[in-house]
Every structure is written in structure tokens, then in C-alpha cells.
Amino acid sequence: MPYEVKEEKGKDGRKVFLIQKENFLELMTDLRKQGYDHLSLITAVDFRDRIELVYHLQKSESNFELLTVRTVTYDSTIDSVSSIWESANWDEREQYDMMGVVFKGHPNLKRILLPEGWVGYPLRKDYDLSKNQYVNMDDEGNDRVSFDPGDGW
Amino acid sequence: MGPQHPSTHGVLRLKLLLDGETVKNVEPVIGYLHRNAEKICELDYYCDSLIYFDRMDYVAAMNMEIGYLEAAEKLLAIEPPERVKWIRVVMAELNRLASHLVWAGAFGLDLGMLTPFFYFFEEREKILNLFTEICGSRQETNYMSIGGVYQDFNDKIIFKIKQFLKQFPKKMEEAYSLFIKNDIFISRTKGIGILEPEVALSYGVTGPMLRASGVPYDVRKDAPYLVYDKLNFDVPISRGKDVLARCIVRFEEMRQSVKILNQALDKIPDGPYFNPKAKKSLMIRLRGEGDVYARTESPKGEFGVHLVGDGTVKPYRLHVRSPAFKNLSILPYLSRDVLIADMVAISGSIDLVFGEVDR
């Protein structure tokens, strides 16, 4: 393999691959070719100075055994895997929405649970919980987010 | 369509692009029930997060609690006693029945059948009455705790569950025949929403949806948790791949749940109903470090919890793999070039619960 993969055991005994961000997409493409056809979950964990991305993959041939791939990004960007697994589409949108991770090459990267125009990324550790944001609807039926309670609140 | 519409099961908004009656494109808009349970859990003790899980899939609260506890107990290194594991299996399967009954009732309504709804909800009400007696609450039960359960089972409860199980299969088959022996129902569901297994896997679809496409993935069998490896049951699959197949698979799953319950009720061993290391006064001091991923089989599919601890009394990061969220993501694919009424049947067959999709 042209890149280096560190392998270790997770706390609960599952297999974990550690990979550099530069080789990440290559590894994922290879894993898909090796039969990992089910991407279960993408999690981003905010460690203040860096964001760790955790991918849980499963192989349908061998009883859906679990494989975890971890990578670290310091500038909140990572290559998108939505061209390899369709399920990454919504997963990556969710992580963008909650954590502000930008997935390069994603076809439709916009917020999924929160309305467009929301300020900040709620699951970041530095998110300000003391400021309320209010969602109203404009005449066309689109969401409008503001810090001002406005009418009806 | 939506956010308030009788056939969207809560608050789903679908942006439809139509050509006459034919759906050309669907864009689901979700998030109307979003309250960011993951953030709230980060601000709470490990033992307090459970009530937010009750409110995720509110028709299957027990399965949600088990999903969280599988992860939390691994992280905190607390093993529940044997008796607790069996009690949890009983509660999980009862709640699976309740959840599938809700689905069946609502699915009938989607297709314009009012009668089955009453049959299914009558049975569900009996299960909820059992829950009331065991945990004091109907839906959001908050029954389990780290390392145990809040109330022990007694002989009276076991007798009552057995009594319920005696009459349940007959009632269920009666209501099932309203579905399966109905020509209109068959013609509304057969051949609609065909989902090939490769596509389903790529979209991350799990649960009855995936099994109806012919992939026998059930976490209870493939990665057994609790005591599912000591129980004898089958994983029903269908090769029909359509809406009808999903319906048949769910009903067969109910029969398997009854089978599991009958075995488990006889096998509950004696012993303590909580782990003394996690009794109430010590619970808020539990600390965990590292990260774990636990998957369980909820009525909707693979329910996963990724939990990261940093050595304090609160979780550092908690992420939930919501099966309904993943299953919903396939709706745009399935609804291309179908009639609006068929799209309602497809979205009904996904079994959506918006507490879980939006979290």
C-alpha cells in the first residue's frame, strides 16, 4: 500500500484504523473495494484544537463485522466519501450542521436539522449556549433566523 | 406536503416536484422536532442522559434505553447482573411488539384503512398497561438505569405478561388477515417501492427495510448483546423488496418476538436487579475514559451509540446513529416517478418516528 495505516484495538475490542488525512480518501476507496459496503455512522469529535472524525464501516459478507477508521483534521476540512457510500450524504450534512466540518466534494453541503442561517455550530465546545436564536417564517415560507425574538415570542 | 399532514407521521415536510400526479423529485425537510439531545447529554451526568433517549423513538423507549446502556456500561465498565439482562430482553421485545403495532396501525391509515388501526392499538394498549404496572409510566418509561433496572419483576407481572402472550397471537393474526387477505391492500403495496439490496446497503438502510430486501442483518444475531445468543429465534427475510415485503417481514418479526418472550419469561434467573457498584447514591460519580461504539437492534433498525469519555462524570461526546434518519434518506430514491399515493405508501413502510430522526 502506498500509505501507512496504524492498526489498534478499541476499548470494546473492535478493530480501529488510524490514517493520515492526506491518504484518507485512498484508504476509504480501498476499503470499499475490499467489501465494506455499509457505512454505519460518521462522528466528529471536537477536541478544541483539532477535530477527530470517526467512521464505522461494516462488511455485509462477514456478518456485518465492525471496522472503525479514525482521522484527525486541524482545519475542519476533510474529503467527502459521499461518492463511495450514498449514506455519507446525510451523515456528512449532519456533521457539517452540528460541528462545522467542511466535506470537500460533497454534492449538496447545507444544514439538515437546523434552518439555514443559524449562527454557530451547536456541538462545538466553544458554542455560546447563552444566546437564544429565534426561527420565524417569511412570506415565501422560508426560515428566517435572528437573535431578536420579534413578534409572537 | 407537510410539515403537518396526516400521512407524514409527525412533522416531516416534503418538497415535491410534480408532473401531474407523478412525483419527479422529493426533498425531505427535517429538523422540526430537533432539540439536540446530544448536546444536552454532554451537559448531564451519565445516568441522567437516559430520559432523553426515551424521547428519541418515543414508541420504543425501552429499545432506546438499552442502546444507550450498552454503550455506557461498556465505557464505565459496569456489568449488569444476569437477571437484569433477561428482564431487559423481555422489555425490549414487548416494546418491539408495541412499536410494530403502532406502525401497522398507522400504515393502514396511510393506505386509507381505518379498521386495522383499532385492532392494533387495542393490543398495544395492553402492552402499555403492562408497562404502567412495571415502571409506572406508559411510553416514556425511564425504566432502566446504569447497571440495573429501577423495579424488579415479580411473579404477578410474569403471570400477566404470559396471559397477554396467550391471547396476543390470535388477535394479531386476525388483524393481519385484514391486511393480507385484502385485494385492495395487495394491489396498493405489491411491486411498489422496489429496493435492491446493494442500494439499500449503500444508503445505510437497516432493520426490517433491509431484511425485506433480502439481507439477513439483525444485530441480535450478528453481534449478540444482552442474552440474545442464548435464545432461539429466526431472522425473517423476504425477497419481495417492495412495500408488501416490508409489511410481511414486520409481522413475522412480531411472531419471533412472541417466541423470544415465551422463552425468556421462563428463564429469568433469581438474583439482584441492580449492580451494587451503580446504586443510586454512587451513580453520579461514575467516570469513564476512552470511546466505545455499541449497536443494538431497535424496531427501526441498527441503533448505534458512539460515546466518548474524558475521565470526568459527564460524557465528552455522544453521537446517535438513528436508524429512521438513515432509512428516511432513501425516500427520494424510492419515490422517483411514482404516484403521490404510492409515495405515501412508501413513506409509511419506512416506519418513521420523528423524535428519532430529528433527535
Query: Scanning the structure block, which residue is given the C-alpha cell 439531545?
Result: B37
Out of B49-63, B281-295, B315-329, which region has the weakest mean confidence (pLDDT)? Answer: B281-295
Which residues in chain A have Cβ-Cβ distances shorter than 8 Å to B223? 63-66
Classify residue B78: in a domain, yes or no.
Answer: yes
User: Could you read off the pLDDT of B278-302 as tens digits, one per residue?
Assistant: 777 677 777 878 888 888 988 988 8
Chain B CB within 8 Å of residue A18 CB: no
Closest Cα in chain A, distance from residue B164 (Å): 34
Q: Closest residue of A to B357, CA-based?
A: A113
User: A-chain residues within 8 Å CB-CB of B27?
Assistant: none
Containing structural domain, residue B36: 13-358
Model confidence at A127: pLDDT above 60? yes
Please tell me if residue A38 touches chain B, with a CB cutoff of 8 Å.
yes
pLDDT at B6: 65
CB contact under 8 A, B293 and A38: no
Instruction: Provide the shortest C-alpha distance from residue B74 to chain A (in Å).
Output: 7
A133 vs chain B: nearest CA distance in angstroms? 13
In a domain, B5, yes or no: no
CA separation for the pair A92, A99 (Å, rounded): 10
pLDDT in tens, B57-95: 888 888 989 989 888 888 888 888 888 889 899 999 999
Residue scoring higher pLDDT (B120 or A141): B120
Domain containing residue B159: CATH number: 1.10.645.10
**Bridge partners of residue B313, in order along the sequence:** none
pLDDT at residue B335, rounded to an integer: 87
Report the percentage of chain B scoring pLDDT > 70.
97
- B14: helix, strand or coil: strand
Residue A131 has pLDDT above 70, yes or no: yes
Q: How far is A4 from chain B (nearest CA, A)?
A: 23
Helix, strand, coil abundance in chain B, percent, nearest 5: 55, 15, 35
Give the mutation candidate from B319, B331, B359 for the A interface (greatest A CB count, under 10 A): B319
pLDDT of B304 higher than 60: yes
Which chain B residues touch A if contact means CB-CB below 8 Å?
Answer: 30-31, 34, 36, 38-39, 42, 74-75, 198-199, 201-204, 215, 217, 219, 222-223, 290-295, 302, 304, 306, 308, 316-317, 319, 321, 325-326, 329, 333, 358-359
Please report the beta strands in chain B, taking only residues with DSSP state E, as ranges in sequence order.
Answer: 13-19, 22-29, 144-145, 148-149, 289-298, 301-310, 315-321, 338-339
The alpha carbon of B100 is separated from its chain's Cα centroid by a whole number of angstroms, namely: 8
What's the pLDDT score for residue B2? 65
Which amino acid is it at A130? S
Average pLDDT over residues B341-351: 85
At A70-101, the pLDDT tens digits run 888 888 888 888 888 888 889 899 889 888 88
Q: Which residue of A has its CA nearest to B328?
A: A90
Mean pLDDT of B186-198: 85
Q: Is residue B6 part of a domain?
A: no
Find out whether A97 and A117 touch, Cβ atoms under 8 Å.
Answer: no
Instruction: Kindly report the nearest CA distance between residue B355 and chain A, in angstroms.
Output: 12
- pLDDT computed for residue B7 by the predictor: 64
Is A50 in the B-facing interface, judged by CB distances under 8 Å?
no
Q: How many domains does chain B have?
A: 1
Does A41 sit within 8 Å of B319, measured CB to CB?
Answer: yes
Return the C-alpha cell found at A111.
Answer: 444544514
pLDDT of residue B39: 87
Nearest one of B129, B85, B109 to B274, comparing CA atoms = B85
Q: Is residue B22 part of a domain?
A: yes
Alpha carbon separation from B116 to A52, A108, B179, B302, B351 (Å, rounded): 49, 41, 8, 28, 16
pLDDT at residue A1, as a whole number? 63
Q: Is residue B252 part of a domain?
A: yes
The least confident of B9-13, B43-47, B134-138, B311-315 is B9-13
A137 to chain B, minimum CA–CA distance in Å? 13
d(CA B68, CA B237): 27
Tell me the C-alpha to C-alpha distance, in Å, between residue B27 and each of B1, B17, B149.
10, 9, 42
Q: How far, in Å, are B49, B189, B241 from residue B183 at the CA level?
A: 47, 10, 19
B4: in domain? no
B218-241 confidence digits (pLDDT tens): 888 888 888 888 888 888 888 888
Most B CBs within 10 Å, among A9, A11, A62, to test the B interface: A11
pLDDT at B158 over 80: yes
> Which pLDDT belongs to residue B8?
66
| pTM of the complete model | 0.87
Contact list in A for residue B217 (CB cut-off 8 A) is 60, 64
* B302 within domain boundaries: yes
Q: Which three cell numbers stand for residue A84?
A: 463511495
User: Mean pLDDT across the stretch B41-69?
Assistant: 87
Residue B99 lies in a domain: yes
Higher pLDDT, B47 or B91: B91
**Does the structure show a pLDDT above 70 at A123?**
yes
Q: Which of B203, B237, B305 to mutate to test the interface with A (most CBs of A within 10 A)?
A: B203
Q: What pLDDT, on the 0 to 100 scale, is given for residue B37? A: 87
**Residue B322 is placed in which grid cell?**
438513528
Model pLDDT for residues B93-134, shown as the tens digit of each residue: 999 999 999 888 888 888 888 888 888 888 889 999 988 988
pLDDT band for position A24 (50/70/90)?
confident
Q: Do A112 and B31 touch (CB under 8 A)?
A: yes
By C-alpha distance, which of B69, B87, B86, B97 is closest to B230? B86
